[in-house]
Structure 1
């Protein structure tokens, strides 16, 4: 134990820069086993204390342990504070193992943002986190744009849901599931159906689907119609209510000496909605354009892959991958598939078994926005993604957005919202052109930006609720083959 006073002088070329530097120091400096005290009204004593002669005129001694001293500086921590959770790397300075608990009591949410340029090791890092999470009973669902995670899932006992026209895996975005929840008062596990939330999401889905054809914003009358028709479908035509029993044909009951299991009712699908739009357009010419724009989403049309009844069974596998790579690169169908897969994951994965820790990863999260900045389609896709992260967060899950094109994702206000509202942020090597945006969103100093520009492959800057750590990970030979390529040693029987 030591009696210690650390004196820091902050300098800048202007008052604005000085205030900004002081704000960063105050925000990132405290809370690591020591406290910050500014030398208000003691500037002369402070100047004498930091002058070359080094006479401490301030005399603010504090009792500290040696480990506290090592953790004092906000730029690099000698040891990450989490003591439990998956191993996610080694501290770049101390070489100490780093464990990360996304559900740590000091974090307000388990959400995560990961960004790094191509070749920085972003996917490698995410795969490492996913693989190590299995040992801590964390289930992971992945929306996989490039098909990078399929081998990882198969080799570790997971399942892969391939999405294309030739697959038997069919997903219906209109499907609604009962939600498991724990009663706060009794502690009992119960079920409910959030009809209003599902209607809102289907309104957003329809707005996005319509925006894939044409660049005009939907009119107020069209949006009002979409909302009214989805309410009509769920509540009136299908008779669904907040009671979970409304999703089934019959309740479980004894028939003689046998227990009759209830059967699940048919779910709405997009063509049910489209038929109502067609009827409205026949009577009101204001809705002809909406009818024409939505036709592509119905069965048999170019984007009609998801106008169906679901035929996907999600097991208790540790990893579930929704592989979009078989759909045409950068096509509207693959972008729509990213949307549908995430909606399906929320309904059939996140809403089930609330006591289970779950993580949802959207790889290449910027793809739905790519080449659509400033268009209705880009806006609606970003709104959906932001809403999805909120829905996952409020149910205790961990939502992770991974992107190798930081500027596309962060320049959208909803993408920036996802970043700001994620307690955990991982930055690998960055593009210098993104410097101003990185500085704005993360409050990085110039030397921190330069460190990210010069970062070696696999080096990660962790910001966990303000705790900054730089890490790396040295994989075993087997792990390296699993994380680094699509070739899986385990599939050879090794």
Structure 2
């Protein structure tokens, strides 16, 4: 069955007058009642084409119908045809050489293309198709039609296309451009799979990026009817920075990017300060750890939190506890306090049967209360002081998070650390625990697929010294570990105003700018080298409008989502009805682990 691709750059007139009008057929044009039209057949094509090479025709500002008819050629017929074509070209070349004629370079190029096509067909890498490309130009009157035809001729000539009028066959040409799937002109040209695939506008011509299995649809090109497909994993740095004011749609875009990346086999960890990603994580079978919620416990002494570490897990956990307890107690520990703590940690782990022997690391880990008990049993005054200061975290008002074994392991293809339920006094502690788990998973494992670390509301982490250090360290080391860091923030001034924030932005090859506040636009302009038009676009952008920057490449796009995606990523309270949340029909099967190879 023939395939048909039809594009209309302007909607046709469907009024009753237009439907009932008579059709007057002339040699070079056709009167449709509501206007005039002239059909053309494309008979000549450029020798080489790039992705989306038909985009100029599809984005023509006037009313223009572009129809692409495709018929596959059976492999045996294609192979026989290519053999005859190569034999004919070779015979013509030899005859010309014997007669002393100059070389025919066009024939040589055609012979080389035929050989390449035959080789690809023999190896099963491509197929041969018969393709017909037709164009119908519409206008209100004959004079306007003549002007439009001149414009279209100039456009096709610039594209190295040879468009000839369908003289005395205007009705056939007009009908062939309708979405009926019929080709009454029958003017076909042979194309291989690569050339045919490049005809479809599945990539933005503004971005010279090869499509790949990890490419993600970002949205619709604001300057054309094409789409923006971007592959962050094909760049020098996998990191992405998203800067936008509140309400511009940055979290919406982050969730779409995350969801579509997971279809490509990317696993992810999320630092979610506002619990915005839980519905998405639940729908795709991810792990959600709501720190601070009732019944949720996280044992900082648990060696399983370092599940990716294959060596020195005990000593690494002890070193981290020095940093964690320093944060919990309001500052770095002194030398004597560190010595007392280190001794108590070794004693506490030994009492639980855990030693430097790797075989003991799977035993149940002691709790923070066990460490305090050990400190209380020491004669050292520094140990006693540490025990007193840690009492609120074991028997006091902060004990809920630490008074039981870890309730849920941070494992899976998607782990979301929700920090919204944490009280302000425990925000820094919970954030450090989450960041430590993410970093150790990223740093200690051997990557076999791309991984993403998404930090929403990055300015909250930048305000914490440990959070800022984590972002800086991960931004620098992410590429070596096949990790892409995504930082989204609404406080662009604070991020660009600090050295660590500038380093995070500088190490991101993909930068997405959405609507900006007038107070921050000058700083954004200086940091990204925006033009006057780009500044105005960001100041007046609607929710979902964005500007993608990567080096000297810029493209404006509009974020788009399907109905199912929208239900998973929206945070609009009016749309979050009980019927729209956690429904079986909207759930997406993205579970990995033993079934990781089944990812789409």
Same fold (TM over 0.5): yes
Match of 1:134 in 2: 262
Match of 2:426 in 1: 333
Which residue, 288, 293, 299 being the options, matches 1:172? 299
Match of 2:436 in 1: 343
Match of 2:359 in 1: 248
Match of 2:250 in 1: 122
- Aligned residue-pair number: 376
Q: Aligned partners of 1:197, 1:465: CA distance in 2, in Å?
A: 39
Q: Aligned partners of 2:366, 2:241: CA distance in 1, in Å?
A: 34
Q: Aligned partners of 1:443, 1:272: CA distance in 2, in Å?
A: 56
How far does residue 292 in structure 1 lie from its aligned partner after superposition?
A: 6.4
Match of 1:467 in 2: 553
| Cα separation, partners in 2 of 1:475 and 1:227, compared to 1, 3 Å | same
Q: Aligned partners of 1:405, 1:323: CA distance in 2, in Å?
A: 20
1:26-105 aligned within 5 A: 78-84=206-212, 85-104=215-234
**Contact residue 344 and residue 374 of structure 2 kept, 8 A:** no
1:347-362 aligned within 5 A: 347-348=440-441, 351-352=444-445, 354-362=447-455
| Cα separation, partners in 2 of 1:284 and 1:224, compared to 1, 3 Å | closer
Q: Aligned partners of 1:226, 1:441: CA distance in 2, in Å?
A: 44
1:312 paired to 2:412:
no
| Cα separation, partners in 2 of 1:327 and 1:234, compared to 1, 3 Å | closer
Aligned-residue CA RMSD (Å): 4.0
Q: Aligned partners of 1:303, 1:471: CA distance in 2, in Å?
A: 48
1:264 paired to 2:365:
no
| Cα separation, partners in 2 of 1:442 and 1:172, compared to 1, 3 Å | farther
How far does residue 397 in structure 1 lie from its aligned partner after superposition?
A: 1.8
Gaps of 5+ in 2: 1-45, 48-157, 161-203, 586-600
| Cα separation, partners in 2 of 1:459 and 1:224, compared to 1, 3 Å | farther
| Cα separation, partners in 2 of 1:195 and 1:313, compared to 1, 3 Å | closer
**Contact residue 382 and residue 412 of structure 1 kept, 8 A:** no
1:489 paired to 2:600:
no
| Higher RCO (CA-CA < 8 Å; seq separation 6+) | 1
**Contact residue 199 and residue 230 of structure 1 kept, 8 A:** no
| Cα separation, partners in 2 of 1:422 and 1:405, compared to 1, 3 Å | same
Deviations 1:342-387 (A, max 9, x none): 32233457745621322121222222455xxxxxxx3344224433
**Contact residue 281 and residue 288 of structure 2 kept, 8 A:** yes
Match of 1:431 in 2: 517
| Cα separation, partners in 2 of 1:467 and 1:198, compared to 1, 3 Å | farther
How far does residue 201 in structure 1 lie from its aligned partner after superposition?
A: 4.4
| Cα separation, partners in 2 of 1:162 and 1:493, compared to 1, 3 Å | same
1:128-167 aligned within 5 A: 128-167=256-295
How far does residue 110 in structure 1 lie from its aligned partner after superposition?
A: 1.9
| Cα separation, partners in 2 of 1:391 and 1:245, compared to 1, 3 Å | farther
Q: Aligned partners of 1:143, 1:347: CA distance in 2, in Å?
A: 14
TM-score for both structures, normalised by structure 1? 0.63
SS at match of 1:103: helix
Q: Aligned partners of 1:476, 1:77: CA distance in 2, in Å?
A: 23
Q: Aligned partners of 1:344, 1:366: CA distance in 2, in Å?
A: 20
Question: Which one has a bigger Cα radius of gyration?
Answer: 2
How far does residue 86 in structure 1 lie from its aligned partner after superposition?
A: 2.0
Q: Aligned partners of 2:379, 2:473: CA distance in 1, in Å?
A: 30
| Cα separation, partners in 2 of 1:406 and 1:162, compared to 1, 3 Å | same
Which residue, 445, 468, 472 being the options, matches 1:386? 472
SS at match of 1:312: coil
TM-score for both structures, normalised by structure 2? 0.53
Match of 2:329 in 1: 210
How far does residue 308 in structure 1 lie from its aligned partner after superposition?
A: 4.7
Q: Aligned partners of 2:505, 2:375: CA distance in 1, in Å?
A: 37
